[in-house]
Structure 1
Amino acid sequence: MVKAGNPAGLKAAEDVCGRRFGEVKGSFSVLPKLQEVCRKAGRSNPEVSSFEDIPSMQLALVSGRIDTYVGSDFNVVWDKSQGKPVDSVALPEAGTLVLGWTVPKGNDGLRDAVLGALRELQKDGYYAEAFARWGVSDNRLDPGVNIGAQGTGFDG
């Protein structure tokens, strides 16, 4: 995620090197991937600022205290719909961020109810329609698919 208009001119993960990068304390981090990209490019690591929560980090972004942070397409679409001055830049070199829903282990009833509802939405076409309406069709997975091992956070 970047400030609207991408004033830092980020186009690739290498462009984050030496820039002000934000992340939420205790959350998933792509920083090791970015540091690897920077090392291979012979550039300095991003300057990291840690935040207590996403709203604080978003405020830092739009006020110019950081240049970027990793968010999802869903966040960008939602934030833009709420009038926030943000844009997105794809950085595939930084890895794949896989998002999903989790339910507590042993709560099979809740798991089955959520999965059943999503499958009904898929069956009547609303699932695909909603993803298309918000411009995030590339992120759509079939309900019940677990591809977490393919995400950056699960690399060995």
Structure 2
Amino acid sequence: MTRTRSRSRAARPAAALPLRTALVLSTVVFLSACTSSAEIESGQRADVAAEAAAAGETATPLVVDTSSEQADRVRTDEDPDAAGLVPATIAEDGVLRVGVVGSGEPPLGFLADDNATVVGSEVDIASLVADSVGLELEVVNVAWEQWPLALQSGDLEAVFSNVGVNAARLELFDFATYREGVMAFTAATGSDLSIEGPEDVAGLTVAVGSGTNQERILLDWNAQNEAAGLEPATLEYYANVADTMLALQSGRIDTYLGPNPNAVYQASVGEVDIVGTVNAGWPNTTYVAATTLKGTGLVDAVQAALQHVFDDGTYERTLQRWGLGDEAVDAPEVNPEVAS
């Protein structure tokens, strides 16, 4: 059985999370609930379902295990065809060394309750790939700015960490896609906002990260709105997500445009409502992908492994485990075309 290990030398300090955090998600809206596994096992699932039914919703309670053991992780079997594509230089030690940025919050990559083991949706996808190619998974906790050099130096063999495919990265790395790159508009709970396009942000105050894809989208939307005679959105910049959440809750801003996975988590614990989504490559489509050094040949094995878990259903189950079903792609693609 594939084991997941984190190198202690790369672990970064973060606040420990409770042993088991119940993220109760609805397929229509994200319900604000956080309960222990014991409470769920004693009947809370039925209570949540009854409340959702009364509100006309279909609820899918989801228990996310934040322990280092990850007993709830979805697993798959080895696919001989995928395993046969692994380059000999990588297969010889029986280990797939994968980098994941573990300094965030659920669901992507974060530290488990031992404050050392990296867990999350990105680790789970990497685990499925390792299972499929018959290798032991070794997870290395890396800082975001370190992963390109770590791949180029050979310290890492792949990166699974919400890496978006773009033209500049395609010059140096190979990619196998497994999620759409989606950004979400969040607002204070109970907000009546609904954002589907440029006209819906006209006149609003919107928080956004400087130099990000989402800032570029909002600047493009402002230009489009001004050309149509609409008032542009006012963009506000905050140093971190905590400050942004305070600004939302105090009414200083109307909405925040940031990564959808983080918004899913924040909504699941009742901090915000998701009021709209947009692809990070708007008006085009961009993807999140497993990243390998260009020319090593490993990307072909990763793509075959991903196809295996797409086919057997474990890919879909893994995304649902973390509330990311809306970001699913139909099939993994190697080095998709991107707009320059």
Q: Same fold (TM over 0.5)?
A: yes
Distance 1:123 1:10, change over 3 A: closer
Which position in structure 2 is the counterpart of 1:6?
A: 191
Q: Does 1:83 align with 2:270?
A: yes
Deviates more, 1:99-108 or 1:116-125: 99-108
Counterparts of residues 65-76 of structure 1 (less than 5 Å): 65-76=252-263
SS in 1 for 2:221: helix
Aligned 8 A contact 1:10 1:16 in 2: no
Which position in structure 2 is the counterpart of 1:125?
A: 313
State which of 207, 211, 217 in structure 2 corresponds to 1:22.
Answer: 207
TM-score (norm 1): 0.69
Distance 1:61 1:135, change over 3 A: same
Aligned 8 A contact 1:23 1:69 in 2: yes
Aligned 8 A contact 2:300 2:334 in 1: no
Which position in structure 1 is the counterpart of 2:221?
A: 34
Deviates more, 1:44-53 or 1:57-66: 57-66
Q: Percent identity?
A: 28
- 1:100 deviates by 0.5
**What is the root-mean-square deviation in Å for CA atoms of aligned residues?**
3.3
Which position in structure 1 is the counterpart of 2:150?
A: none
Distance 1:69 1:107, change over 3 A: farther
SS in 2 for 1:100: strand
Structure 2 segments unaligned to the other structure (5+ residues): 1-184
Q: Which residue type is aligned with residue 286 of structure 2?
A: V
Q: Does 1:45 align with 2:232?
A: yes
TM-score (norm 2): 0.36
Aligned pair count reads 149
Select the structure that is richer in strand: 2
Distance 1:101 1:87 in 2: 24
Distance 1:106 1:133, change over 3 A: closer
SS in 1 for 2:208: strand
Distance 1:99 1:54 in 2: 23
Distance 1:55 1:148, change over 3 A: farther
Q: Which structure would you say has the larger RCO, counting Cα contacts within 8 Å and 6 or more residues apart?
A: 1
Distance 2:314 2:263 in 1: 21
Distance 1:88 1:74, change over 3 A: farther
Distance 1:120 1:143, change over 3 A: same
Q: Does 1:143 align with 2:332?
A: yes
Structure 1 segments unaligned to the other structure (5+ residues): none
Aligned 8 A contact 1:60 1:66 in 2: yes
SS in 1 for 2:276: coil
Which position in structure 1 is the counterpart of 2:93?
A: none
Distance 1:97 1:58, change over 3 A: farther
SS in 2 for 1:108: coil
Deviation digits for residues 112-131 of structure 1 (CA, Å, limit 9, x no counterpart): 56545433321321112344
Rg larger in 1 or in 2? 2
Aligned 8 A contact 2:189 2:270 in 1: no
Distance 1:109 1:64, change over 3 A: farther
Aligned 8 A contact 1:22 1:49 in 2: yes
